[in-house]
Structure formats: C-alpha cells, structure tokens
Chain A
Amino acid sequence: MNAAVATSAPPRSRRFRYATWLPLGLVTIFVAAAFLAPYVALYDPNQQNLLARLKAPGFVSRGVTYWLGSDELGRDLLSRLIHGARISLFVAFASVILSGTVGVLLGMLAGYMRGVVEIIVMRVVDIFLSIPAILLAIITVAVLGPGLVNVIVVLALTRWPRYARVAYGQTLGVANMPYVRLATFMGAGPGRILFRHILPNIIGAVTVVATLEFGLMVLFEAGLSFLGLGVQPPTASWGAMLSTGRNYLATAWWIATFPGLCLFLLVLAINLLGDDLRDRFDPRLQ
C-alpha cells in the first residue's frame, strides 16, 4: 500500500459514521419506496386527470393533493416517482447480478485455467471494452428493440467485461497462493478450487466494482429511457419522465426537476457507499 494514500485518509473510526450511514440511509429510503410502492404511493401512477394537467406542487383537485405537482396528463408526479424507483432499482439490480455472474465466472476461469481460455476470454473482454459502453448499449437496443427485459439484457451484455477484468486480475493473484496449490495437491477439483478457495478471496474486490456499477446502471437505464430506447410509456421511469419534462420547461419545471433529483441522490448515495467500501477492501482498486 502506498504511503501517501495512507496518510491522506483520515482515521477510519472517525469517518465511519457519516460516510457509511448517511448514504446507506438514503439508499434504504429508495429501496423501501421501491418495495412498498403500491402501499406508499398515494395514487395510481397511471391515473390521468385531464382537469389537473401541469399543476404546480401542492395543487388540490377533487380531493387529490399533488404534493410534487402533476404531469402533462394530470398524473401525480410523486406517485410516479415512487413507482419509478422500482424500475430503476430493479433494472440496476438485475443487470448487475446478470453481468456480475457471467463476468466473474469467465474472469475466474481465465485466471485459473490460463492458456487458450485466458487468451480467448481476455481478448473478447478487450474488444467489448473498446466500444464505448453507451454506444454498445444503443446498438444492441437498436437490434433487440426497447423494453424492460431488453434493457436488462443489453446492460448485462455491455457490462460483463468490467467484472471479468477485475475477477481475472484478482484470480491471477490468488491462484498461485500456497493454500490453493496445497488444495490442488490434496485432490480438490477445479470447481472446488474456484468456488471454495478463489471466489471467497476475490469477492471483496468484485463487490466494490458491483457497487459502483450499480450506480452506473441506474444512470444507464435512465439514459436509455431518456432517449426513448429504454422502458416504454406509460410505465413510470425517471429517465422517461425527465425526457417528457424537457418539453415543459417553461411552464412546468417540476416534471423534469424531481426525477432528476431522485436519480442524483440515489447515484450519489451509491457512489459514496462504493467509495467507502473501496477504502475498506482495497485501496489499490481503481
């Protein structure tokens, strides 16, 4: 570990409280909103009220209070935001799990088996990583078409190389450790070595990457939906809501502002958590 980095970081015990609990609390709020959406949201997110279109926050119509205002079809913005948290977190979670599993498996195999497997897997990783991620996601959506499931598939397909590279590097470091060689001597098969001896030792680094990727996936889903290539209307997605709000900036600032604020807070909290995790697990990780 590098001396300069060590001295620059304040003592862990002092950092612990804010750096961990504040973002964790924020993420918990979003997760709770996502899980409990049907109970927490006051109104149906797709319930239109054409008499209450583009109303400012606090507007009351027919006994319905629009706490954060209403959109161009008179739908309650707050309820749509809460349901949007569902889409955002579900897509991010599913794509991280999918790409993480594929990437880690291939990365471990490449690092453990070496030889041809290593060359093939890592070359493919290089090829995937040399296409800018947004462009790769966009061209895949162009082929598969938009939609919830396709967005998850696209994000997983785009992001697995990131995990493969980390898992590969970490496995290389672990695979030659004396205890792994000892286990091989004692007759452990490749499956046992990989999952009992290597995986537990690289999972920390993978978790750090997965956390930061989670934030990125939230942004990617919102970005694709913003471009009209993600989750399709009328399903509430923060990105799509922002895109609609762009057309009403002069008359209804709240439509674009609040979904963006949610995105920003969620991603900020996840990034803070990721930084905190990285400080604990491995300071050398990028």
Chain B
Amino acid sequence: MQAFLLKRLGQAIVTIFGVATLIFFLQRLTGDPTYLLVPETATPADIEAMRRSLGFDRPIIVQYLAFLTDLAQLDLGRSVIQNVPVTTIIASRLPYTVMLAAGALIVACGIGIPVGILLALWRNSPVAKLLASLVLAAQSMPTFWSGILMILIFAVTLGWLPPSSTGGFENLIMPSIALGLLSMATFARITRTALLDELSKDYVRTARSRGAGLGWILVRHLARNASIPIITVAALEISNLLAGAVIVETVFAWPGLGQVTVQSILARDFLVVQGVVLLGALVTIGLNVLADILYSIVDPRIRLGGVR
C-alpha cells in the first residue's frame, strides 16, 4: 500500500511541476508577458517600469526558477488591479465555488445514481428508454442555457426563486441544478454500466438461485462492487464541476472563483486568472490521486497490480 501511495504521489508531483511549466510558457506565447498585466492605456514608460518591477527583464531561465520558487511557497503574486495577494482573492471566493460545486454534486448524484439503477434494472422497458433520452437531453443542454431558462421560468415568470446573486439557501437552488444536470448524465451512465457489468456475474445468479431478492442483492453485493467506477467518476466530475462553475457563476452572478476569473480576464488582471487555473489543476490532480487511493481500498487487486 505504501509503495503504491508513494508511486502515485510521485507521479502527481511530476504532473504539478509540468502544469506550472506549461503555464509559465503559455504566458510567454505572445512574447512579453508584461502586456498581460498592464492596462491598455499604459504609456511605454509605465510598461517599462512594470517590466522591471516584475522582473520580466531578467533572463528567461532566472524568471522560470523564480516562478517555481514562488509557487513552491504558495506565492501567486499580487493582483495588479486590486493590489492584494492573489491568494487572498482566491481564499475569499473559494467558499462560494465550493458551496456551488457541493450543491451540484448532490443534485448530480441524487438524481444520476437512482436513474442509473433504474436504467440497469428495467433496461428494456419504455420507462428506461424515456429516462435514457432525458439523460442524453440533459447532457446536451449548455449550462448557460438551462440556467437562463430556469431564471426565465422560476424567477421572472413565476417569481418563486431569486434570479441571481447570493443570500440564503434559495439562491443556491438554481445554480446547483444548472451545474448538476451536466454531471447527472455522467453518473447515470456510469451507474448503469457498472450495475449491468455486475448483474451478469456468477455470484449474482448464485445469490438469486438461493432465493435472495433483487433489493437485497443490490444492497449486499452490488453496492460495493459497482461503487468502484462510480467513485472514480465522482472524483473526476468534481473537477469538471469546478470548471463548469466558471460559466454558471457568470449566469447567476454568483461571486465565486469563476466569476472573478472572467472579471479578471476582462480587466487584464492576468495573475488572478493564472492563480485560479493553477488551483484548478492542483485540485484535479489531487482528486485523481484520491480516486486511485479510494479505488485501491475498495478493490485490493488494483493496489497489488499497481506495485508490480
């Protein structure tokens, strides 16, 4: 187990290093990164001063090493517009995005997993076919459209829910559903496939021949075995939800990381954008490692295979 963990963590660190390198060179895609950080009205003297103060006049290798050193110390630089550390901005916005992603995950699992179970158990019935089409429709719906439709119906027309911004629990309902619907389809699909895989196995037939009811088999045997792929997908979906929050937050004026990212791009505050992207990658990599660890706890065969 330890060897497996170490190997997996080692890979993760290499990937994080790679992401940092990629972002560093991405910034220099158009040449001088100073232009990403100054307002469009800046004079040549301002630009030169900024270039010096940020150290962009140094040799590129020195800049690269300085960039990595800062990152290792969790220093993401300062916002040019707000003149506060990027980490402070991220820390103030992060709770909102986490809240939204959690709400969306509850919607996605809460609807997706039961729907997936129904799709697997009643796989040839008309109900399952109808459900399957609804799932596909939900997957094809852009979040910015489903969000706007919900605002139109439930806020503007019916007046049941507040159209946007924060406040109480009711402000979280529509954004969570808009964001969660997308992942709901993924959960339904993976649950269906995982269950069908397991249902065809010998132990299920044996259990049934002993007279066990389908409900009992589902709880006693299938839940554990079918949960493996679902866990992995859940971990990967969380990073999708965080990324999807960028658009949903803009639709609902939700003051999370996504909103601040979009605002920062429009205001040419590049370091904030960079900070959010680095955080997104870090979370994704972390969740992947977590999924692998959970996976190996549920199924020891994977851990043993991983060591070899």
Contacts and interface: CB of A to CB of B under 8 A. Distances in A.
A64 to B, nearest CB: 26
A21 B140 CA distance: 18
A264 B145 contact: yes
Contacts of B141: 264
A184 B240 CA distance: 43
B228 interface: no
A4 B247 contact: no
26 contacts: A4-B199, A8-B196, A10-B124, A127-B21, A130-B284, A131-B277, A131-B280, A131-B281, A132-B242, A132-B243, A133-B243, A135-B261, A138-B273, A139-B277, A140-B29, A141-B265, A143-B27, A219-B142, A226-B144, A227-B247, A243-B144, A246-B148, A249-B152, A257-B148, A260-B142, A268-B136
B144 A135 contact: no
B90 to A, nearest CB: 13
Interface in A233-286: 239, 242-243, 245-246, 249-250, 253, 256-257, 260-261, 263-264, 267-268, 271-272, 275
Nearest 8 interchain pairs by C-beta = A260-B145, A132-B243, A127-B18, A4-B200, A268-B140, A4-B196, A267-B140, A134-B243
Contact of A5 (B15, B144, B193, B251): B193
Main secondary structure of the interface of A (DSSP, over half): helix
Nearest to A256: B148
A171 B142 CA distance: 34
Contact of A143 (B30, B142, B200, B246): B30
Contacts of B250: 226-227
Contact of A8 (B29, B123, B266, B274): B123
Given A3-B200, A5-B193, 11 more contacts: A130-B281, A130-B288, A131-B280, A132-B240, A134-B244, A144-B30, A246-B251, A249-B148, A249-B156, A256-B148, A271-B136
B36 A130 contact: no
- Which of the four size classes fits the interface of chain B? 35 or more
Contacts of B148: 242, 245-246, 249, 256-257, 260
A128 B152 contact: no
A214 to B, nearest CB: 12
Nearest to A261: B145
Interface string B136-151: 1101111011001101
B280 A135 contact: yes
B26 A143 contact: yes
Contacts of A245: 148
A249 B144 CA distance: 13
Given A228-B266, A256-B148, A132 B140 contact: no
Given A123-B14, A127-B19, A139 B281 contact: no
Contacts of A227: 246-247, 250, 262
Interface in B268-308: 270, 273-274, 276-277, 280-281, 284-285, 288
Contacts, number: 147
Interface string A83-120: 00000000000000000000000000000000000000
A258 to B, nearest CB: 10
Interface string A198-222: 0000000000000000010001001
B145 A249 contact: no
B161 to A, nearest CB: 13
Interface string A124-159: 101110111111101111111000000000000000
Interface string B216-259: 00000000000000000000000110111011001100000000
B127 interface: no
B23 interface: yes
Nearest to B243: A132
Contacts of A215: 140
Contact of A142 (B145, B163, B270): B270
A135 B284 CA distance: 12
A134 B250 CA distance: 14
B75 interface: no
A142 to B, nearest CB: 5
B197 interface: yes
A139 B274 contact: yes
